[in-house]
Amino acid sequence: MSRFHFPESIRSRPVYGTLEPRPGKAHLMIADAEGAEALLDLASADAGLVRHAHIIYIPKGTGETYVERLRALDPEQLHVSPSFDASLPRLRRVLAEAHMGLQLYLTGTEGLMGRAQSEAMQAGIPQGAIQTEHRGSVARRMQCVHCKGITEDVMTDPFVCSHCGLNLFVRDHYSRRLAAFQGVCVDAEDPGNVPDPVELYS
Amino acid sequence: MTAAPRKTKAGAEKIDVTVSAVVPLNDLVTRFEFRRTDGGAFPPFSAGSHTVVEMNDGGRTRLNPYSLMSDPADTSTYAISVRRDDEGRGGSLYMHNNVRPGDRLTLSYPVNLFPIDLRGHKHVFLAGGIGITPFMAMIAHLERMGGAWELHYACRSKALATYADDLTRAHPSRVHVYYDDQDQRIALEDLLDGQPLGTHVYVCGPGGMIEWVHRTAAAHGWPEENVHSEEFLAPQPGKPFEVYLCKSDITVHVGENESLLEAIERCGVDAPFLCRGGACGQCETDVLEADGTFEHRDHWLDEDEHAGGRKIMPCVSRFTGKKLVLDR
């Protein structure tokens, strides 16, 4: 099951839609893990669009599950990358040379979509023009508000900051610039009194 | 707008000014320059702002919006350029025929419904005729901050190409002028194609031109956030009609040559407004009862609201029918 309906939350929390074909001069698609399924769905809606697309795909834990099926869509370019960071120089180069009329499609985990969106907004694409569709894990990219360190793929609340070791409460308060949710110390007033970690949305 | 000062009267705050220069530019367009009557400095304005000029035309108050086209960095002067409209309701004719250096007028504080999006990496200006005016201020602003811009300016003829010579002389590589009488047209599709990511386009001119730019940009995959436009509508004459103002408990007769807003003001009812051209949304009024047909002409309400018959913009829209009751 790659789709998850997030319950309604505070305004700060990003909401995601469903990718749909849009008119444009070029099409850039960035996906990780089960996000590949959203691209396959998009291709069944408009195969021609995906054939003209540049796809950057980060399989994460899914390994080779989707790579051949994406290749079979025959996109103009398919770049399979071991991580978002590894694909970042390519993404920045593509955005720096892009022209108005570029359509951006982001799908997969929140961390991937948030980071790609942040890069795209810096390159001049308004947030409202960026399409997103959540697929796969509900893991979050968290920033520790105390040490500012980022912990990727957080699955439980509370969790331990991978930089400073504080016990952090997972908030829905989100930074578009950092592409991260905020984690706040849960036992500041009573050190050691930490609730049992619960899996997110369980 | 919670930080705005409390106002006792509708509209923006006002400034008393003295006309410091009247400069005819061609057969149709004249520039009017103003100084503050109290000798002080004008409030700074952001490029793209307009001011509402208050004229006393033989006892009849005329309020017309004009884009400020002077350099926003110069707080000693405000300037507007007015195109004479012989078929219009008379505001521009009054300016051309009656306003002389030394005259006193009242201007509203600047209001900006057409700002530059300073997040943009590049700004492409598309002007049609007198639509050049807001771009004069925008160009001055971007030149000062070293911003990237280009202007594509469509005019009827060389003789009516207001400021085209000045602009071309100052910025020969950035200004492109197209003359209708020489069958020159802005090649919009080519122009939109290949603009760098983060480009914004701004259009000011006739309604058809604005619609053409929005439609073409959307077809080329431009986000609507990157396409900006401004068109002031002048209220059109129409059949006289009656309106009952519920809160004020009076019936107002709207004459053939006045707008609903002007009729409401004439009867002493203080109704909110800013642009008086169907753009800003300030005068939006609830309709309590209506038996007849609305003539919606504004750019503010969406299609559903126009069809719904629950709201009207009295600055430009009219009504024909038996009964109209407004919550005013």
Number of domains into which chain A is organized: 2
- pTM for the full model? 0.88
Provide, as residue numbers in chain B, all residues whose Cβ is less than 8 Å from the Cβ of A99.
193-197
- Quote the crossing angle between the two packed helices A110-122 and A84-97, to the nearest 10°: 30
Residue A94 domain flag: yes
A123 and A181 belong to one structural domain = no
How far A134 CA sits from the closest chain B CA (Å)? 22
Say whether pLDDT at A118 is over 60.
yes
How far B147 CA sits from the closest chain A CA (Å)? 15
Q: What is the pLDDT of residues A166-180, one digit of tens each?
A: 999 999 999 999 999
Question: Which residue, of A134, A162, A182, is where some domain finishes?
Answer: A134
A123 and A164 belong to one structural domain = no
Out of B195, B221, B225, name the one closest to residue A22 (CB): B221
Q: Do A129 and B120 touch (CB under 8 A)?
A: no
DSSP state of A163: T
Out of B121, B219, B225, name the one closest to residue A126 (CB): B225
pLDDT of residue B234: 80
Say whether pLDDT at A1 is over 80.
no
Question: Which residue, of A110, A134, A158, is where some domain finishes?
Answer: A134
Q: What is the pLDDT of residues B136-165, one digit of tens each?
A: 999 999 999 999 999 999 999 999 999 999
A148 and A169 belong to one structural domain = yes
Sequence-separated (6 or more) residues with CB below 8 Å from residue A201? A4, A6, A7, A138
Closest residue in A to B201 (Cα–Cα): A100
Structure tokens at A51: 């054939």
Q: Do B193 and A101 touch (CB under 8 A)?
A: yes
A33 and A115 belong to one structural domain = yes
The single residue listed with the structure tokens 């009024």 is: B285
pLDDT of residue B2: 45
Residue A106 domain flag: yes
Q: What is the amino acid identity at position A88? A: L
Residue A3 domain flag: no
Phi, psi of B288 (to 5 degrees): -95, -35
ipTM confidence = 0.87
Residue A10 domain flag: no
Give the domain range for residue A61. 26-134
**What per-residue string of b and e applies to B202-236 under the rule 16 or more CB within 10 Å gives b?**
bbbbeeebbebbbebbeebbbbeebbbbbbbbbbe
pLDDT of residue B289: 93
| Per-residue pLDDT tens listing for chain B (328 residues) | 445 555 557 777 899 999 999 999 999 999 999 999 999 999 999 999 999 999 988 888 888 999 999 999 999 999 999 999 988 888 899 999 999 999 999 999 999 999 999 999 999 999 999 999 999 999 999 999 999 999 999 999 999 999 999 999 999 999 999 999 999 999 999 999 999 999 999 999 999 999 999 999 999 999 999 999 988 788 888 899 999 999 999 999 999 888 999 999 989 999 999 888 888 899 999 999 999 999 999 989 999 999 999 999 999 999 999 899 999 9
A123 and A33 belong to one structural domain = yes
Closest residue in B to A27 (Cα–Cα): B221
Out of A23, A103, A128, name the one closest to residue B225 (CB): A128
Sequence-separated (6 or more) residues with CB below 8 Å from residue A76? A51, A52, A53, A54
A172 and A94 belong to one structural domain = no
Domains, chain B, with CATH or none: 14-112 (2.40.30.10), 122-230 (3.40.50.80), 241-326 (3.10.20.30)
Residue A21 domain flag: no
Q: How many CB pairs (< 8 A) connect A and B?
A: 57
Residue A19 domain flag: no
Out of A24, A95, A123, name the one closest to residue B221 (CB): A24
For residue A32, the cross-strand partners are: A58
Closest residue in A to B122 (Cα–Cα): A124
What are B's interface residues with A at a Cβ cutoff of 8 A? 119-121, 192-199, 218-226
